[in-house]
Amino acid sequence: MHGNRCIGNVLVLVVTVLALSFMVFLPSISSAQEEIYGLKFGTAGTFAEFHGFVNSRYFDFERESSQGRDNGVSTYDVHNLYIAALAKVHPRVSIFGEVEYEHTGTPTDTIAVDRAFIDWRTIDQYLTLRIGTFNPPIGYELAEYVAPVRKFESRPFFVDEILFHEWVDAGVWGRGQIKTPAAGILYDLSVLNGPSGLDQDKRQNRDNNSDRTILGRIALAPNIGDLGYTELGVSYATGKFDTTAEDEFKIFDIDARIQMMGLDIRGEYAKRSGDDQGAFQADSTGWYLQASYKMLQGMNLINYIEPKIRYDNSDADKDNPKPIQKGLTEDDEISRITVGINWSPYPHFLFKTEYQFIDEDKADLDNDGFMISAVVDF
């Protein structure tokens, strides 16, 4: 009757029992610096740390901008004031929480706690349990949430169209890795409340049905030694999104990245399928490919300079009342080429510039745009 609900409950029970069983035989581990959403926390003698950033930007788009907002507007915007805290209450247990103030001082400003969770490292590198609200482990783009670590100020279109716009959910997440001389194997399995509809925007902390969304990712990271880092991942998610737990969605995602000698190349493909919700159509695909290169590092007033380029595409299968781009029609596609330069004069201080060339398959819109942001993290 409630397939995913039963499977989800069984998975949570099995993982918890295994974790408790192994804990008896494991020695304690030393506290080490951790990285969550790209921000580094903690040392061996640290109990609690606070970090954050301010992201102030200016954008200037033509008649219609990306995502159908800010039409013909050029304006300044303090996009994020973000404060996060990490407390290590035990070498194996930590607590993370954040507060984010978006679009400060505007009619659309919001204050929210998106991510708040407990991490319990139960079996060393092999299993860590995360309990709370977090970005689900699907693909790579959702993991790079905070502005100081994102290469681009804008996100690929498919994040809004397919991944529920910076998807944050409540549940349990088990993750770990197995290291061999040839490669590392990373694995994630999460049981979540799941989205409350295909038009969901960001947050889902209470479930609207008795079904659970099950989501997993497995990745291979070949060992390339001192050359850098490379990873290839595959993700899959399935769940019910309506109040009667009858309408289903599925997401399949492939991501890859290569980092070596200052060069960073990454890409991701996502496909969503399932049942439609009114004018919102489940079937949709999107992808992106981007490259950047850090150069001139360590010079006077130049921590680094990073030219960058990205191509992304999204298939808006149906004319939505809330589309990623106003004016799109059925079976239309939207693509974008984004070019820019990141300049960091000092560590923790970053300017990001980008210009977007936006093209619609059928609609003829003047919507290219320019963005520049200043990000300071602390």
> Tens digits of per-residue pLDDT, 284-323?
889 999 999 999 988 888 999 999 999 999 885 544 434 4
Dihedrals phi, psi of 23, to nearest 5 degrees: -60, -30
Question: Which one, of 215, 43, 185, lies nearest residue 125 by Cα?
Answer: 185
Residue 353 has pLDDT above 90, yes or no: yes
pLDDT average, residue stretch 207-218: 83
Question: Which one, of 292, 316, 326, 320, lies nearest residue 306 by Cα?
Answer: 292
pLDDT category of residue 261 using cuts at 50, 70 and 90: very high
Share of the chain above pLDDT 70, in %: 72
pLDDT average, residue stretch 168-185: 92
The larger pLDDT score, comparing residue 105 to residue 316, is at 105
Instruction: State both tokens at 174.
Output: 């088990």
68 vs 318: CA distance, rounded Å = 16
Residue 69 has pLDDT above 50, yes or no: no
- The predicted pLDDT at position 352 comes to 95
Query: Which burial class, exposed, middle or buried, applies to 107 when counting CB atoms under 10 A from its CB (0-12, 13-18, 19+)?
Result: exposed
User: Which domains can be identified in the chain, with CATH numbers?
Assistant: 3-26+54-377 (2.40.160.10)
Share of the chain above pLDDT 90, in %: 36
- In sequence order, the 6+-apart residues with CB closer than 8 A to the CB of 274 are 247, 248, 249, 250, 282, 283
Q: Are 217 and 137 in contact (CB under 8 A)?
A: yes
- The predicted pLDDT at position 169 comes to 86
Residues in the chain: 378
- The predicted pLDDT at position 199 comes to 63
Q: Which residues of 265-278 are buried (b: 16+ CB within 10 A; e: fewer)?
A: ebbbbbbbebbebe
**Beta-carbon-side half-sphere exposure of residue 320 (alpha carbons within 13 Å):** 24
Choice among 10-14, 84-88, 92-96, 357-361 with the minimum mean pLDDT? 10-14
